[in-house]
Amino acid sequence: MISELKIKNVVDRYISVEIARQLNQDAGFRGEHQLGRMIDYLGQLPDGCGGGGSNNAMIYQISLLFKEPNDPQTRWACKAMQLVEKQSINQHRSLVAWSLFKNRPDPINECDYHTDERIAALLDVSRSTFLKSLYRGKATIADYIELRECDVA
């Protein structure tokens, strides 16, 4: 029997990559603003460098990129979650919501965790639909983990 902790680890690894990808999509939209430059240079902006500073701007944007986790276990976890998504979007959504919200505070209900009902409401499904999808999604990931462990052994 595969532990719930191992299943959560797979989903969490996938989420960490997806978060990094989402944050990296914003690269190019962040930059220094004129007001910030005025403050940095104490009101005396330097003369332009003639080239528009595009190389400096590009280097600055690259420095803002988040490095996606790329270890073999994380790559495997991402592939496993992609397979779940292909099989059933509901299972995929249930696994991600469960991992993100289950043990995190619920400010609307002023509670230390999200209940199954609240997670289902966030997904706009019934509690029973959420739990069925979550159960099936966990079983699928558990099967993938078991296959991987057989392959490693």
Rounded mean pLDDT of 129-139?
A: 97
50: helix, strand or coil: coil
pLDDT for 110 equals 84
Q: What share of the chain is helix, strand, coil (3-state, %, to 5)?
A: 65, 0, 35
**pLDDT above 90: residue 23:** no
106: helix, strand or coil: strand
- Radius of gyration for the alpha carbons in the chain, expressed in angstroms and rounded: 22
Mean pLDDT lowest among 16-25, 40-49, 87-96: 40-49
Burial code of 5-15, b = ≥16 C-beta within 10 A, e = fewer? Answer: eebbbbbebbb
**In the chain, % of residues over pLDDT 90:** 46
pLDDT for 69 equals 75
Whole-angstrom Cα distance, residue 119 to residue 126?
10
**pLDDT above 90: residue 93:** yes
pLDDT for 145 equals 95
The residue behind tokens 């699928």 is 140
Tens of pLDDT, residues 63-83: 556 677 779 999 999 999 999
Higher-confidence residue of 6 and 105: namely: 6
Closest CA relative to residue 84, chosen from 124, 8, 144 = 144
Rounded mean pLDDT of 22-41?
A: 58
pLDDT for 70 equals 79
The residue type of 58 is M
pLDDT for 92 equals 95
Average pLDDT over the chain, rounded to an integer: 81
